[in-house]
């Protein structure tokens, strides 16, 4: 598995006892090797660590890996390899679920970079004020056109928050990263709410 070859951990093959520096299949006897638990979901699924996950690459790599470790591929293999393959499949599925959701993937990236959970950091006052003002504005939307304009406004703010968050990650600025990640998560949730509840035919279309 190419994305796992980046890891430099040395392990001993359970079958031939060869010391190898790769994961997937042993380079000596070609038996399936256990997947190290410390591999993060981004590495496992071969996508760049980012708040803006490349969903096309994620989906492609996920389907490839799921097929590679499907039980049908190990019918004639040893029980050890079958067990290892099942473990791979579980990790792959869990990683996919984590990266598919913007909430979990962005929080995961934050904890990977800073070694601290985002939820342990208090919400910055400016973030709370901005979201309060946006929620108040949302309450007074009376037409689909207004809702559409509001969605565009939120999307612009999301793009800004994502850019600032990526910059903070590069700079290893934890407080700045927390500020813009929390902003992004609140905006994303508000965007979903407006899309689901206001941009539909039942909403009053009076302008």
Check residues 197 and 23 and name the one with the higher pLDDT: 197
Nearest alpha-carbon partner for 69 in 78, 58, 79, 82: 82
Q: What is the pLDDT of residue 4?
A: 42
| pTM higher than the cut 0.85 | no
Where are the domain boundaries for CATH 1.10.287.110 in the chain?
2-100
CA distance 27 to 29: 6
- Tens-digit pLDDT profile for residues 147-174: 899 999 999 999 999 999 989 999 999 9
* 116-197 placed in CATH 1.20.120: no
Evaluate the CA torsion angle 96, 99, 103, 106 in order and state its sign.
positive
Where are the domain boundaries for CATH 1.20.1280 in the chain?
116-197
- The distance in angstroms from the start CA to the end CA of the chain is 56
One of 3.30.300.30, 3.20.20.80, 3.30.70.20, 1.10.287.110 is the CATH number of 2-100, namely 1.10.287.110
pLDDT higher than 90, residue 7: no
CA distance 147 to 138: 8
Task: Decide: 111 and 121 in contact? Cβ < 8 Å.
Answer: no
Q: How does DSSP assign 72-134, residue by residue?
A: GGGTTS-HHHHHHHHHHHHHHHHHHHHHHSHHHHHHHHHHHHHSS-GGGSPPPHHHHHHHHHH
Q: What value does the mean pLDDT take over residues 108-136? A: 94
């Amino acid at each position: 598995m190419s994305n796992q070859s980046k890891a430099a951990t040395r392990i001993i093959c359970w079958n031939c006892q060869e010391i190898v520096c790769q994961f997937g299949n042993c380079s000596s006897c070609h038996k399936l090797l256990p997947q190290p638990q410390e591999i993060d979901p981004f590495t496992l699924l071969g996508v760049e660590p980012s708040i803006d996950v490349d969903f096309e690459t994620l989906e492609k790599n996920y389907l490839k890996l799921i097929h590679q470790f499907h039980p049908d591929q190990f019918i004639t293999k040893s029980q050890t390899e079958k067990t290892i393959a099942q473990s791979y499949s579980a990790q792959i599925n869990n990683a996919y679920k984590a990266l598919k959701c913007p909430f979990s993937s962005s929080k995961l990236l934050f904890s990977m970079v800073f070694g601290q959970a985002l939820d342990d950091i208090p919400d910055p006052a400016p973030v709370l004020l901005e979201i309060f003002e946006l929620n108040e504005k949302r309450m007074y939307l009376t037409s689909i056109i207004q809702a559409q304009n509001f969605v565009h406004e939120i999307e612009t703010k999301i793009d800004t928050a994502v850019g600032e968050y990526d910059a903070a990650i590069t700079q290893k600025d934890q407080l700045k990263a927390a500020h813009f990640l929390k902003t992004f998560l609140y905006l994303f949730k508000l965007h979903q709410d407006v899309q689901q509840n206001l941009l539909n035919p039942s909403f009053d279309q009076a302008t």
